[in-house]
Amino acid sequence: MLIATSCLLTLSLASISAFADSQSTDEQVLYSYEGNVTDISILPVDLVSYIGKPAFFIAEAVKFKAPKANWKVDSVQLYAWDGYDGSNESIPSERIISLEIRDKDLNLLYKFADSQIPYTNYARNATGMYPLTIEIPQISVSGDFYICFYDRGAIAIASEPLNKTSENSFLYVDGSLLNSTLPTAETTVTPVNWIMKVTGR
């Protein structure tokens, strides 16, 4: 009886493992960046004064291309920092962040909004940044689509500096896409790529 139970348990675990493997092979990840992710940095940019709009209206936007028609987005991850350094004095104030998925014509497909607190995990990874993951209820996309993230001053979004204007990273403001070329000093501007990845199947 014990041998039979052990065999049944082994078969069950093997089935679960096979199912998990089949599930993971279906999953695909799209990246907004190339190269070494350890090179990313958070630019000390005040987008509100730079764009001249309240933070509520400014989003870091990335254009992705769906691997197939009706591809289902199920999560978005970016890197960010909310100012928390482990001390009581640096505990961040609660604010509302927002994320949108838009089609190639910038029509809204999905909108999410919540406090940033549940999504900022205070354990830094090897990049020195905080991964911030937002689960999505399987939104269907085809062709080009955009992820627009409104940090609203709650967190600083990570980016990688570029030598030329990005073809996929933008600022989304009042229904329009602007080049993600930001001031890094009083007399210097730098094109950047927002560090973001999208998972789906």
Any domain includes 122: yes
Q: What is the pLDDT of residues 23-36, one digit of tens each?
A: 446 899 999 987 55
Strand order of the sheet with strand 96-103? 108-115, 96-103, 144-150, 58-65, 169-173, 176-179
Q: What is the CATH number of the domain that holds 95?
A: 2.60.120
pTM, full prediction? 0.77
- Which bin fits 76, alpha (ψ -120 to 50), beta or left (φ > 0)? beta
Residue-number span of the structural domain to which 188 is assigned: 28-200
Any domain includes 18: no
Any domain includes 9: no
Any domain includes 85: yes
What is the chain written as a DSSP string? -HHHHHHHHHHHHHHHHHHHHHHHHH-EEEES--S-GGG-EE----HHHHHTS-GGGEEEEEEEE-SSTTEEEEEEEEEEE-S--SSGGGPPPP-EEEEEEEETT--EEEEEEEESGGG--S---TTSSEEEEEEEEEEEE-SEEEEEEE-TTSSEEEEEE-SS--SSEEEEETTEEEE-EEEEETTEEEEEEE-EEEEE-
Q: What is the pLDDT of residues 165-184, one digit of tens each?
A: 788 999 898 899 988 876 65
Any domain includes 10: no
Any domain includes 47: yes
Any domain includes 2: no
Q: How many domains does the chain have?
A: 1
Q: What is the pLDDT of residues 86-97, one digit of tens each?
A: 677 777 888 899
Any domain includes 173: yes
Instruction: Tell which wins on pLDDT, 110 or 152.
Output: 110
